[in-house]
Amino acid sequence: MEKNIIVIAGSPAARQSNSESLANYMAGRLTERSCAVTPLSLRAAMPSPQGLLEQVKNADVLVLSVPLYENSLPGLVVAFFEMLLEHRAELSGKSRDLFVIGNSGFAEPRELDSLLEHCRLFAREMGFRWIGGLAVSPGTLIDGKKLEETGGTYKKVMATLDTAAEMISRGEDVSEYLGRQPARPLIAPFMYRLVGRLIQNSTIKKLGKAAYFARPLI
């Protein structure tokens, strides 16, 4: 039976985001496996909540790609969750799965533990089946490009998403498979922070300390 899947990019960014790159890759892999896939940008869909709610009603699986903002979910995703909770009764007559791809600017995957746990608890409250969450750290190096254009950096992430797409298309729980994957950063945290500091120093030199550290009046 063909699965109806909505793949949601949950970033509020106006330009192509890392979350959107991950969502687009996943949508492509699911489409290859004969699933009926509807890609959605939450930023574009939220202004028409009724249409978004109808999409969720018709879905068998929700795949959410979301960034970590200030150690939490973006407000846009929180508003989406609150809207679904408001209409929980309307959505209760059908079984749905939730799979989440989290990404952050931190090198350590554990920084996404809280975000994924929030999503798991949301699934429980909604009566959705939690089928797994993947932590992509750091997601920064995607830089809005297609995953296929990132060279070997995200090769293991793509392989993991390929397997996850196959399991989702068969209606399987991805959690156990993800639990067997080593939670290793894509780049050594020390090197990541060192390069970040070098870039920061270069930017400060270009803009000047006053402009770089300027803060709005409070």
pLDDT tens across 84-134, in order? 999 999 999 899 999 999 999 887 888 899 999 999 999 999 999 999 999
Which residue, among 38, 52, 51, has the nearest Cα to 6 in the 3D structure? 38
SS3 65: strand
**Torsion angle of alpha carbons 84, 86, 91, 95, nearest 10°?**
60
31 and 100 both lie in a single domain:
yes
64 is written with which tokens?
Answer: 């959410």
Mean pLDDT throughout 18-22? 96
Residues 140, 213: one domain?
no
Question: Domain check: are 70 and 162 in the same one?
Answer: yes
Selected residue with higher pLDDT from 207 and 68 = 68
Identify which has the larger pLDDT, 191 or 112: 112
Opening angle at CA 34, ends 32 and 36, nearest 5: 110
Helices 18-32, 155-169: crossing angle, 10 deg rounding: 50
68 and 143 co-located in one domain: yes
pLDDT band at 195 (very low <50, low <70, confident <90, very high): low
Domain check: are 84 and 174 in the same one?
A: yes
Q: Facing residues of 130 across strands?
A: 98
Between 210 and 183, residue with greater pLDDT: 210
Q: Which helix (H) or strand (E) holds 46?
A: none
- Measured CA to CA, the distance from residue 23 to residue 40 in angstroms comes to 9
Is the same domain home to 90 and 137? yes
State pTM to two decimals: 0.86
> Is residue 121 located within the same domain as residue 169?
yes
Question: In terms of residue numbers, what domain contains 197?
Answer: 188-218
